[in-house]
Amino acid sequence: MSDRLRPTPGQTVGPFFHYALPFAGDSELVPPGRPDAIRLHGRVLDGQVAPLQDALVEIWQADPEGVVVQEPGSIHRDGWTFTGWGRAATDNTGRYSFTTLLPGATEPGAAPFFAVTVFARGLLNRLFTRAYVPGHPALVDDALLSSLDATRRQTLVAAADASGLEFDIHLQGDRETVFLTYPGH
C-alpha cells in the first residue's frame, strides 16, 4: 500500500528502564499458587551465551480456551481478571519468569503460542518472536514452523518442565532464536 505512512523508527530501551517500566505484579498474569497457574520462564542470552541482566520480556497470549481477552487491568491487577499481557525484566542471572495460564488455540487447528517481545540495552529495536506450547498436535501443520529447518524450528518451541514451560531467548549464536518481522515493517 503506497499511501502507508513511514513508521517512526524504534530505539534501544537503554539501561535505565527499571524504575519506569516494571510494576508490581507485572509478570503475574494470574496469582502464583492458583491451581491452573503455570510458569513460563527462561533466560535471555547474548552471542557468547552470557545472560542479559538488563533485558525486558513481554508476553501477550490467549486464555486457555483460546479466547483473545480484551480486558483492561494489566497494570492494576485485581487478582481475578486474566488480561493476557505481562512484562518481566530479567534478573541478575538473565532470567525472566511469568506466572500465567497455558494459552489455547485461537481457532480450530491452530497451534497455541505466546507472542513475545524482547527489549534490551544493546538491542537497537525490539524483537518479536513466538513461544509455542510443546506437544500440541497442531505444531506439525503450523505455517511458520513448517517453513523452518529443524534446528531453527526448535528455537520457537518451549520445553515442558515441572512447573510449566521454559523458553530461552538467544539473541545470537548457534541457537539464535528465530525473530519475526511482519508485513509493513
Partner 1 sequence: MTTPTLATQSAISDEIAEIAAGAVPGGQQPQLDYAPYRSSLLRHPTKDLQQVDPEGIELWAPCFGHQDVDPLEADLTIQHSGEPIGERITIAGRVVDGSSRPVAHQLVEIWQANAGGRYIHQRDQHPAPLDPNFTGAGRCLTDADGTYTFQTIKPGPYPWKNHRNAWRPAHVHFSLFGTDFTQRMITQMYFPGDPLFALDPIYQSITDQDDRDRLVATYDHDLTRPEWSTGYRWDIVLTGSHRTWMDDEDHT
- Enter the C-alpha cell of residue 36: 491452573
For residue 82, the minimal CB distance to partner 1 (Å) is: 12
Round to whole Å and give the CA distance between 64 and 100: 10
State residue 69 phi and psi, 5-degree precision.
-80, 135
Instruction: Compare residues 32 and 76 and give the one whose CB is closer to partner 1.
Output: 76
Q: Which one, 12 or 39, has the nearer CB to partner 1? A: 12
Residue from 24, 36, 70, 137 in contact with partner 1 (CB under 8 A)? 70
Site pattern 101..140 for partner 1 (x: CB under 8 A): --x-xxx--x--x-x-x-xxxxxxxxxx------------
- Tally the residues of the chain: 185
Secondary structure (DSSP) of 111-161: PPEEEEEEEETT-SS-EEEEEEPTT-GGGGG-HHHHTS-HHHHHTTB-EEE
Site string for partner 1, 139-168 (x = CB under 8 A): ----xx--xx--------------------
Q: What are residue 160's DSSP bridge partners? A: 165
Nearest approach in angstroms of CB 116 to partner 1 is 10
- Exactly one of 47, 79, 146, 151 binds partner 1 (CB under 8 A); that residue is 47
Q: Which of 12, 46, 10 is nearest to 120 (CA)?
A: 12
Beta carbon of residue 71, minimum distance to partner 1 (angstroms, whole number): 6
Per CB under 8 A, 171 contacts partner 1: yes
Q: In whole angstroms, what is the distance from residue 146 CA to residue 150 CA? A: 9
Q: With contacts defined by CB under 8 A, how many residues of the chain interact with partner 1?
A: 75
